[in-house]
Amino acid sequence: MKIVFMGTPDFAAGILEALYEAEYDIAAVVTQPDRPRGRKGEPVPSDVKKCALAHGTRVLQPVKIREPEAVKELEKIGADLFVVAAFGQILPKEILEMPRLGCINVHASLLPKYRGAAPIQQAILDGETETGVTIMQMAEGLDTGDILSRMVYPISEEETGGSLFEALTEVGAKLLITTIPLLEEGNIFPIPQDDSQSSYVKMLKKEDGRLDFSQSATALFNRVRGLDPWPGAFTTWKGKQLKIWRATALQEKASGMAPGSVFAAGKEGIDVVCGEGMLRIRELQMEGKKRMSAADFLLGRPMEKGEQLG
């Protein structure tokens, strides 16, 4: 079977690596153009491109996949299947219908919930106790195709966006390798998605990490872990940004104190008043400084009860 793989970030690179390990014939890899990063703004290849080049695979990087030249280039390959994972562009109908077995997508949520750009982080932000990976037969639209297979993964209270990302990469890789043979043999019966149960998640921005202490402690706890490592949860203190890396939601009430007020600060952490309950900050990072425990932070920067964050 000849496969064309389309993807861009590290999640997709993990899926691509699984295809190589299973010894599939990867005829070409399609990924986004190199993007400028870092202080110098130099173009950096995607994780998928790095993986493909390491295996000596041809790489295509069209600015727009629907451009006539890109479509013709894909058609020349004569692939049996297109595998897509976090590619970042919507495929037009002519590409969707090009391979013999169509195009399948490895999506990191239990569709139809969490269609869109950041399903992994959003599941934690919403306090979900489980998520998973869905492989779907792609159709026109955003994550709307029929479901071919899915695998559920439990979300623990210690899970972060980063750890869940790694876990679902492994889940997705295993699911894909078991799904492709069934698809080729015709032993899969696609299940249409229930659009009434769908939800869409937007692409994350840095500002999404700002903590709003008028929200509940539970919501802020989920935001801290869901947005770790990027964009990271943060607030401000004395005019400087304060990143919050680890926290705990407390249900204790602090009557008469405004949200964002420091209720207590000590060895256990920094307890901040929220709309409901309190957020105990356990690990944090002052702007321009290293990441450290709350206890170590307070040794050089004491906080008094009533001081305001945010």
- The pLDDT tens digits of the residues spanning 221-269 come to 999 999 999 999 999 999 999 999 999 999 999 889 999 999 999 999 9
State how far the Cα of 79 lies from the Cα of 5, in Å rounded to an integer. Answer: 10
Using the CB atoms, write b or e for 154-179: b if 16+ within 10 Å: ebeeebbbbbbbebbbebbbebbeeb
The arrangement of secondary structure in 2-201, i.e. its CATH architecture, is: 3-Layer(aba) Sandwich (3.40)
State how far the Cα of 308 lies from the Cα of 262, in Å rounded to an integer. Answer: 6
- Would you say 260 and 213 are in contact if contact means Cβ atoms under 8 Å apart? yes
DSSP label at 31? -
DSSP label at 33? P
Predicted local distance difference test score (pLDDT) of residue 200: 96
Predicted TM-score (pTM) of this structure = 0.95
**Domains of the chain: which residue ranges?**
2-201, 206-300
Per-residue pLDDT band at 147 (split at 50, 70, 90): very high
The arrangement of secondary structure in 206-300, i.e. its CATH architecture, is: Roll (3.10)
How many CB atoms lie under 10 A from the CB of residue 3? 21
State how far the Cα of 309 lies from the Cα of 274, in Å rounded to an integer. Answer: 11
Q: What is the pLDDT of residues 191-223, one digit of tens each?
A: 999 999 999 999 999 999 999 999 999 999 999
